[in-house]
A and B are shown apart, each in its own frame.
Chain A
Amino acid sequence: MDLQTASQINDFLAAFVLLGAFGMLTQKRIYSLIHLFAWQGFFLSVNIAIVAYAAGRHHLYISSILTLSLKVILLPYILHTLVVKLKIRKEAETLVNIPATMLIGIALVIFSYYLTAPVTELSRLITRSTIAVALATVMIGLLMMITRKHAVTQIIGFLAMENGLFFAATSATYGMPLVVELGVALDILIAAFIFGIFFFHIHTTFDSLDVEQMTRLKEGD
C-alpha cells in the first residue's frame, strides 16, 4: 500500500468517525447511541491500524488493539448491561433541539479546521488532513455532554471525546508514547468503573438517570 492510498483511506475512515459523532448528536434512543459509539470506535481502530501499517509505526498497533478492545467491545458491553439492568429505554428531552445542535456541530467543524490550520501546515505526516476532524470529534463530544441531560448520554459524549483525543494523537503525531497511551487507557477503565457505580447511585437516589433532576445545589436562595 503506497502512502497516497493510505492517506486516502485514512481520510475516508476519518469521515466515518465524524459521521458517527454527528449520528450520536442526533440520536435519542440509548441503544442506538451505544451502537453508534461502538461503530465510531471501530472505524477509529481500523484507521489507527492502517496508519500503523502505512507509516511502519508498530506501537500504533497496540493503540489500535486498545481502542478495539476498550471502545468497541468492553465499554459498549458494560453500558449495554447497565442500561438493561436499569431498564432505560429512551432518554429525556434534549436541552437544545436537534436541528439546532446539528448546526452548532457544523459550526464546530469549521471552527476546528480554522483552529488547526497552522498545525496542519507544519505537519509532514500522511495523516495531517485529519487533525481538524479529530478536534471536531472532540468538540462534538463536548457539545453532546452539554446539551444532553441524561447520565448515560453524557458518559457516551465523554467517551466519544476520548475517541477524538486518541484520533488526534494518531493524526498529529502518529500516537503518543506508548506509556502515555497505556496510562490514558487505564484512566478510561477506572472512569468506566466509576460511572458504573454512579449509575446505580443516581438511579437509587433519584429514581431515574435524568440529570435534570439534580438541581438542589443551585446558587442562592
Chain B
Amino acid sequence: MILLILLGVPLFAAVVLAFVGDRRLAPEVNIAGSAATFAAGVALALRVYEQGPMTAGGKFFFVDAFNVYLAVLTAFVSMTTAIFSRRYMRREREHGRVGHVGMRFYHAMFQLFIFAMLLCLLTNNIGILWIAMELATLSTVLLVSLYRTPTAIEAAWKYFILCGVGIAQALFGTVLLYFAAERVLGEGGDALLWTNLSQVSDKLEPTVLSLAFVFLMVGYGTKVGLVPLHNWLPDAHSEGPTPISAVLSGLLLNIALYALVRCKTLVDGSTHSHRAGDIMMWFGIISIIVAAFSLLRQKDIKRMFSYSSIEHMGIATFAFGLGGPIATFGALLHMLVHSLAKSSIFFTVGHASQMHRTQEMDRIRGLIKGNPLVGWGFMLGAMAIIGMPPFGIFTSEFLILTATMKDAPLMTPFLLLGLGVAFAAILRKVQFMVSGDAPSYQRPLKAAHLPVLVHMALVLLIGIYMPDFLNQWFHKAVEILR
C-alpha cells in the first residue's frame, strides 16, 4: 500500500502538472507532490526498518535496506530540488529562457523522472529495472534541451544517443542473465526476480554470467558516467536547467550504480571470484584520475562540477569493486553524502549563475559580498565535495582509503593522486569566485536558502555524528552485498 502511494504520487502529479501547465501555482503543486512522495518514502523506510525486507504486489516489488535508503534519498533530494526550482524557474521564465510550453513540460517531466527512478529502485524484476532506467533517461532528454540553444540541443542529442547505445548493451546483458537464470529457475517472469535469483546465484552458469556482466558493466557504466563512457555526462549535466543538473548528478547516477551493484552480487555468487569486482575497480580508478585532471581545465562552473560527479561516482564504483565490509560501508555512505552535497552545490551554482547571468567561472566574482548566504553555502559545499573534514564526504573517503590500503595497497597512490588533484582544482577556482568585491554586473536576487542549508546541515551532521539508525541501516545493506 505504501509502495503504491510512493510510486503513484509522482505519476499522478506528472499527469496533474501536465494539465496545470504554466499556471501560477504549478511550482507549488510540484513541491506538494514531491513532499507527499517523501512522506511515503519515510513511511516505507520505517516499515522496512522495523519489519525487515519485504516483497509486495505478487513479488513485483522488493524492498530491503539497500534500496530503501536510496529511495528515501531520491524522494528527499527531489523534494528540496522542487523547492529550489520554484523561484529559480520563475526567474528563468522572466528572463525569457523558457516559454509557456517549456514550463508545462518541465514540471510534468520532473515528476515522471522521479517516478522512473523510484520504479528502478523498488522493482524486483531486472527487466523492469532496465525499462525504468530507459524511461528515466528519456524523460530527462528533452529537459536537457529545454533552453533550445544550439549547445543545449547538442548536449541532449549526445545524451540521447550515447545513453541509448549504452543501455542497449545492458539489455543484452539482461538477456544473457535471463538465459542463465532460466536454466535453473525455469521459464517465465519468475526467473528475472531478484529474490529468486539471489537465492540460486551459485547455481547460475559462471561463463554466461561473466559475459553478461561485461555487457551490464558497459551499459549501466555508461549511465554512471564512468570513463571512458562518460562523454555525454558533462554536456548533459551542464546545459540543462540547474534543478535538472542537481537531480541528474545527485540522483540518477546513484540509481545506475545501484543497478550495477545488484548485478555484481549475482555475478559474484556465481563465479566465486573477484573478477567483477576487479573490473569495477579499474573503471573506478580510471574515472577518478581522468575526471580529476579534467577538472583542472574547466571554465564553465556547471561543467566543472559535472566532472566532479564523475570523480565521485568513480570513488563509489571503486569501493564497491574493492568489496569487504569497510569499503562497501564507505561506498554506501559516499553515495548518500555525495548526493546531498552535489545537489546543494548545484543549487548555489544556479543562484550564482543567475546573479551573474553567466556560467563562466572567470566572470563570477565576489559571491560572499554579493549574497553572503549563497556565497558561504557555495564555499562550504565546495569544501565538503573536495573531502575536507568534518563533512561526511571526508568520512566516507577516509573509510574507502583505509580499506584500499589494507586490501589493494597498490591502488592507494592512484586514489590519493586523484583525490589530491581534484582537491586543488576545485579549491583554486572556488576561492576566486567567492572572495573579492562584487562586480558591477552582479545583480541581487532572492535566493531559496532552505534546501542548501538543510543539505549542508545533513552532510555536516553525518560527518560529525552518524545517527545510530543510519549506521544499522548501512550494516544491513553491507550484509546484503557481501
> What is the interface of chain A, defined by CB distance below 8 A to chain B?
115-116, 118-119, 122-123, 135, 138, 142, 145, 151, 154, 158, 161-162, 165, 168-169, 172-174, 176-180, 183-184, 186-187, 190-191, 194-195, 197-198, 201-202, 205-206, 211, 214-217, 219-221
Contacts and interface: CB of A to CB of B under 8 A. Distances in A.
Interface of B: 125, 127-128, 130-131, 134-135, 138, 141-142, 145, 148-151, 153-158, 160-161, 164-165, 168, 171-172, 174-176, 178-179, 182-183, 187-189, 191-192, 205, 207-208, 211, 235, 239, 294, 297, 299
Contacts of B183: 122
B150 A206 contact: yes
A217 B176 CA distance: 36
Contact of A217 (B131, B145, B154, B175): B154
Contacts of B188: 177
Interface of A: prevailing SS = helix
Contact of B131 (A119, A162, A186, A211): A186
Contacts of B153: 198, 201-202, 205-206, 214
- B-side binding surface: helix, strand, loop or mixed? helix
Contact of A187 (B138, B172, B208, B294): B138
Contacts of A177: 125, 127, 188-189, 191-192
Contact of B165 (A161, A174, A183, A191): A161
A215 B161 CA distance: 15
Given A145-B161, A173-B182, A184-B131, A194 B235 contact: no
A123 B176 CA distance: 11
B178 to A, nearest CB: 5
A183 B128 contact: yes
Contact of A191 (B150, B164, B299): B164
B161 A158 contact: yes
A145 to B, nearest CB: 6
Nearest to A146: B165
A194 B157 CA distance: 10
Contacts of A174: 187
Nearest to B299: A221
Contacts of A142: 165, 168
B176 A172 contact: yes
